Amino acid sequence: MQTAQLLIWLVTIYGGIGALVAALFLFIGIDRIDEDARGSYAFRPLLIPGVIVLWPVVVARWIELEGGR
């Protein structure tokens, strides 16, 4: 596998995982960890790119905040 193909494959996998995390977090998780986000659906699409890129941080914080309950 060439280096460029490998990088594209890795970015695709990373983005796919990020998209899955974004969908789960924005539909389920955000309401559970932030009371002010309940019922606020207009701003959630704005969070999608950030959650996709920073999904490891989002997952770590989500686990940390859910474990505190």
pLDDT tens for each residue of 13-27: 999 999 999 999 999
Q: Among 24, 20, 29, 27, which residue's Cα sits nearest to residue 52?
A: 20
Place of tokens 């009371």: 35
In the predicted structure, residue 69 carries a pLDDT above the cut 60: no
CB neighbour burial string for 4-34, b if at least 16 within 10 angstroms, e if fewer: eeeeeeeeeeeeeebeebbeebbeebbeeee
| pLDDT recorded at residue 68 | 63
Spatial separation of the C-alpha atoms in residues 44 and 68, rounded to whole Å: 24
pTM (2 d.p.): 0.84
Q: Which helix (H) or strand (E) holds 36?
A: none
Reported as a single tens digit per residue, the pLDDT across 15-64 is 999 999 999 999 998 888 888 888 888 888 999 999 999 999 999 999 99
